[in-house]
Amino acid sequence: MIRVGLIGYGLAGKVFHAPLIGSVPELKLAAIVTSRLDEVARDVPGVRVLANANQLLADSSIDVVVVASPTASHFAWARAALLAGKHVVVDKPIATTSVEADELITLAEKQGRLLTVFQNRRWDGDFLTIKRCIREDALGNVSYFEAHFDRFRPRIKAGWREEVGPGAGVLFDLGSHLIDQALQLFGMPNAVTADIVAQRAEAKVEDYFHLVLDYGTRRAVLHCTTLAAGPGYRYIVHGDAGSFRKNGMDGQEDALKAGIRPGDARWGADVPENYGELVAADGTRQQIPTERGCYEMFYRGLAEALRSGAAASVDPRGSRDVLRIIEAARTSAAERRTVTL
């Protein structure tokens, strides 16, 4: 049995990591570092609660440390866990700078420990559907990819994501997902052009971004706003053999919040009214059932990697590249120019 310790029991730890770890038989959630004792006792009774992360790192029975604390602390706790001889999972983004990410990657190699990053939206049902369409050549040569993470939150939500500081704002929070998906499909772009701004009157950090990734003749457009009362398509993909369009957001996050877990008949399923549409070059239209989402595959992959020595599902170098794109995007927006990578 692989014993796991979790640092943080906010949104990431409570909604994503704890239940997903619990869904994998080879993993045992043994301890959580948090001040939320009542919530842990209610949600995962029997799991030990620790007052600080240093207690967790000093526990020789813990094999893996999951860092689900605020983004600004990812680097420090991941580094400390690696130095303590633990395997490490870091919630996305891996750190706040690509330099920090490289330091963690080098340290993990030196320590002979596994380091991976929870890029869960690689297992969104709609993204898996796009990958299938591309793999099966239903779109031909893809010339345009557009992904949206649009919400309607006109009021500022209390929390560190809305406060000035390293790792705050939607580019780190939601952009990490969209950028990672683009990199999974097409690799590193040649250049980045970005528009990043705080649009809401009381916003202290950016709540809007529009990124254009240059892949030669191909473009990937990544967009996020917090003022979309009527969001449009989630994905639009054009190729020389057809187009794919998809509405709706993957439902796994809401399912986890509602207590639905992997193995439930409803887990990862999309509603038919949100199925995507494939339009062929001859104008033929076809509804495409959405692949089942499967966030649990991240932790299944972790267990397999630790058991067999195989590579983890998420290479931290890919998450480092996400930060390289974020850094280029910030430069592009600040200097109003395209940044070559």
User: Would you place residue 208 in the very low, low, confident or very high pLDDT band (cuts 50, 70, 90)?
Assistant: very high
DSSP at 59:
-
The 10s digit of each residue's pLDDT in 226-261 is 999 998 999 999 999 999 999 999 999 999 999 999
With bands split at pLDDT 50, 70 and 90, how would you rate the model's confidence at 157?
A: confident
Give per-residue pLDDT as tens, 38-97: 999 999 999 999 999 999 999 999 999 999 999 999 999 999 999 999 999 999 999 999
Residue 169 is predicted with a pLDDT of: 96
Least reliable range by pLDDT among 7-11, 157-161, 167-171, 196-200: 157-161
DSSP-based three-state secondary structure for 293: coil
* Neighbouring residues of 329: CB distance < 8 A, sequence distance ≥ 6: 171, 175, 192, 194, 196, 209, 211, 339
Residue 160, pLDDT score: 85
Interatomic CA distance for residues 115 and 135, integer angstroms: 28
> CATH 3.30.360.10 region(s) of the chain?
121-294+325-340
Token pair, residue 77, equals: 């706790």
**Contact call for residues 336 and 156 (beta carbons, < 8 A):** no
Tokens encoding 106: 């080098």
CATH 3.40.50.720 residue ranges of the chain are 2-118
Q: Round the CA-based radius of gyration of the chain to a whole number and report it.
A: 20
DSSP string, 125-152: HHHHHHHHHHHTTSS-SEEEEEEEEE-B
Using CA atoms, how far apart are residues 90 and 78, in angstroms rounded to an integer? Answer: 7
Point out which residues pair with 280 in neighbouring strands.
Answer: 242
Q: Give the pLDDT confidence score for residue 334 in this predicted structure.
A: 98
Considering the entire predicted model, what is its pTM?
0.96
Residue 202 burial by Cβ neighbours in a 10 Å radius (0-12, 13-18, 19+): exposed
pLDDT (tens digit per residue) in 103-150: 999 999 999 999 999 999 999 999 999 999 999 999 999 999 999 999
d(CA 326, CA 211): 10
User: Which of 94-103, 138-147, 153-162, 190-199 shows the lowest mean pLDDT across its residues?
Assistant: 153-162
Phi/psi region, residue 64 (left: phi>0; alpha: psi -120 to 50; beta: rest), is: beta
What is the pLDDT at residue 231? Answer: 84
Decide if domain 2-118 falls under CATH 3.40.50.720.
Answer: yes
Average pLDDT over residues 214-219: 98
Total length of the chain = 341
Torsional sign, CA 58, 59, 62, 63: positive
| Mean pLDDT (the chain, rounded) | 97
Residue 159 scores a pLDDT above 90: no
Top-level CATH class of 121-294+325-340? Answer: alpha beta
